[in-house]
Amino acid sequence: MDSRLEIRPFGPDDDVEAELDLRRRAFGPLGSAATWTARMQAVIDAGQMVGVFDGRRPVASARHYAMRQWWHGRSMPMAAVAGVKVAPEERGRGIGRALMTRLLADLAAAGYAISTLYPSTMPLYRSLGWENAGGRYEVVIPAHTLAALTAADPQLPSAPALATGPASMRRAAGADAAAVVAALGNAHQALRDNGPTTREPAELVRSLDDPDYFAYVADDGFLSYYWTNGHEEVEIDNLVAASAATARAFWQILGSHATMADRVRACVPPEDPIGWLLNDPTAVTSRTQTWMLRVLDPAEAIAARGFPSGVSLEAVLDLNDRDIPANSGPWTLQISAGAGKLAPAGGEPDRRALRLGPRGFAALFGGVPLATLRRAGLAAGDTHADDVLDCAFGGPAFMYDYF
Ligand SMILES: CC(C)(COP(=O)(O)OP(=O)(O)OC[C@H]1O[C@@H](n2cnc3c(N)ncnc32)[C@H](O)[C@@H]1OP(=O)(O)O)[C@@H](O)C(=O)NCCC(=O)NCCS
């Protein structure tokens, strides 16, 4: 990168309008400029925007949001990287690489164990250790089919009565933001979800207070949606429900719009129960986006996530991480009773080790099977623990949020 350029965080004296100009040139027109200005100023104030500057003029920037990500029912801090961009006339000269190298070091220094991003191009992120680890899935449902959800199987002994919704369900507004985040956490924990994120309650207040955004909260779930294309389609922002009663109640609310809306569009887990609640085979769940994961601190990431309680294993991992050398070396991975521990193994690399770079480790963490990783050139070495490692990390990981 040209020596006239400086990489540093945006500060109070930097012009947020110059950042928005970069954004417009990289990603197209902004929706509401006032909303973006406020949002980006908050990111700058939190020290979460890094730029490449030619004097006072930013020629590239990237930001991260501080979120929590749920892994098998436990959550940990996660840096969600977004808005990576270089001014069009400055591309192809190493600026993007220098920016992302600096961001990676900053996130590791800040103590994040993991980071994710939605890529529009993969080589740059791959070269720094991010790898495909999860997806964002969408289902488009003809609204009228929601009017007749399948009943519980009559042959199921003691089938639960699902006619009435959860007693705790109520409309939610901005004042309920903390209850909403708690309900989402309750649900992701109970469902042992891999991948979903939650944000700070304050970040939800504006949407929840928007009169065109409709939200319901129950103890174990949250539904929010809005109309798009006039009243042609209902688009679901969140539908997370841990119990059968809450899931059914939320889908029934959406189905009640069938006289107006043609379709309901929802971001869902790949095996959301809606696939079993509908009698219509035309509602297909498809993967719309792929997200990449970078494990910045493997020991902390393993300690902070959950694992299936029935899985017990001990394996040696030989990790090689050029950009975060402290992660390199032989490690002993122990998993039992739902918890994991990764400790330096010491000594020479074990012949019985599973060998991974940061990309293979990130994808394994996200639940990508080792048979896939070996054939993609992301894992090598001993195979004896592959089966049980697949059970321990088992995916697929998914996200609702897009950033
Ligand atoms: C993607 C972007 C940030 C890269 O910045 P840049 O300064 O042009 O990238 P660099 O010159 O540092 O190149 C870094 C590496 O990425 C690769 N790369 C850059 N742009 C690429 C593209 N569009 N497609 C595939 N690879 C690309 C380069 O080949 C290079 O790899 P190498 O070092 O192995 O040769 C920049 O092109 C951009 O702003 N694009 C538009 C916005 C965008 O798509 N942002 C990404 C959002 S996830």
pLDDT in tens, 184-235: 999 999 999 999 999 999 999 999 999 999 999 999 999 999 999 888 999 9
The CATH class, in words, for 297-395 is alpha beta
Residue 324 DSSP label: S
**How many secondary structure helices (H) and strands (E) does the chain include?**
12, 19
Weakly modelled stretches of the chain, pLDDT under 70: 160-165, 348-349
Query: Which pLDDT tens digit goes with each residue over 280-292?
Result: 888 888 999 999 9
HEC states along 290-302? EEEEEECCHHHHH
Q: What is the pLDDT of residue 163?
A: 62
CATH number of 136-289: 3.40.630.30
pTM: 0.95
Beta strand pairing call for 379-381 and 114-117: unpaired
**Cβ 119 under 6 angstroms from ligand 1:** yes
Supply the residue whose CA is at minimum distance from atom 40 of ligand 1. 85
Task: Find the 262 Cα to ligand 1 centroid distance in Å.
Answer: 40
The number of the ligand 1 atom at minimal distance from the alpha carbon of 125 is: 16
Q: Is the CB of 82 under 6 A from ligand 1?
A: no
Output the CA 10–ligand 1 centroid distance in Å. Answer: 21
Tokens of 59: 């020629």
Helix axes 386-393, 358-365, angle to 10 degrees: 60
Atom of ligand 1 nearest to the CA of 124: 16
For 205, 251, 263, the CA distances from 228, given in Å and listed in that order, are: 21, 18, 10
For the chain, which residues make up each domain, given as ranges? 5-129, 136-289, 297-395
Answer whether 388's CB lies under 8 Å from 333's CB.
no
pLDDT of residue 161: 67
Of 96, 99, 97, the residue nearest 107 (C-alpha): 99
Nearest partner of 168 among 204, 220, 214, judged by Cα? 220
Site to substitute for ligand 1 among 2, 89, 121, most atoms within 8 A of C-beta: 121
CATH number of this structure's domain 5-129, picked from the four choices 2.60.40.10, 3.40.630.30, 3.30.565.10, 3.30.590.10: 3.40.630.30
Query: Atom of ligand 1 at shortest distance to CA of 97?
Result: 12
Q: What pLDDT, on the 0 to 100 scale, is given for residue 331? A: 96
- What is the average pLDDT value for the chain, to the nearest integer? 94
Closest CA to 74 of 206, 242, 188: 188
The answer, yes or no, to whether any atom of ligand 1 lies below 6 A from the CB of 306, is no
Nearest CA to ligand 1 atom 21: 121
Same fold, 5-129 and 136-289: yes
Q: Residue 164: what pLDDT?
A: 66
> For atom 10 of ligand 1, which residue has the closest CA?
94
